Amino acid sequence: MNQKMIKYIIILFFLLSFLFVGPAFAHKVNVFAYAEGGKIYIESYFPDGKSVEGGRIEILDSQNQKVAEGVTDKEGKCVLPIPKKDDLTIVINASMGHKNSFLLKKSELGE
């Protein structure tokens, strides 16, 4: 192969790779949580910055058992009491394949 052909193949490879990255990125949802004053504050949003309204929140303990649940408001936020002093996984399900989780360590829950 000549240099020009190799260059075209490399460019084609990168262009085709974007076809597969786009759909995966489209189903991404971000979730962040922190504990303060006996409560867990959860925020969730899409990559474009739009809030996740009506997203289902589940909090799982270190044994993967559901210990709390809630729903995000129009700003993508949800506040729940700390259900248990344990490592907690915050799961957001924003429907249509949009799902993600955030690990909130026991040490971050305060006393």
Domain CATH code at residue 101: 2.60.40.3580
Per-residue pLDDT at 36 exceeds 80: yes
Q: Assess if residue 1 is contained within a domain.
A: no
In a domain, 43, yes or no: yes
Q: In what order do the strands lie in the sheet with 30-36?
A: 30-36, 39-45, 77-81
Is 4 inside a domain boundary?
no
pTM of this prediction? 0.75
pLDDT of the residue at 68? 97
Give the model confidence (pLDDT) of 76-100 as tens digits. 999 999 999 999 999 999 877 788 9
Cβ contact 70:78 at 8 Å: yes
Across 4-13, 24-33, 42-51, least confident range: 4-13
Q: Which domain holds residue 63?
A: 27-108
Q: State yes or no: pLDDT of 3 exceeds 90.
A: no
Tell me how many domains the chain contains.
1
> What's the pLDDT tens digit per position in 38-72?
999 999 998 888 999 999 999 999 999 999 999 99
For residue 84, the tally of other CB atoms under 10 A from its CB is 14
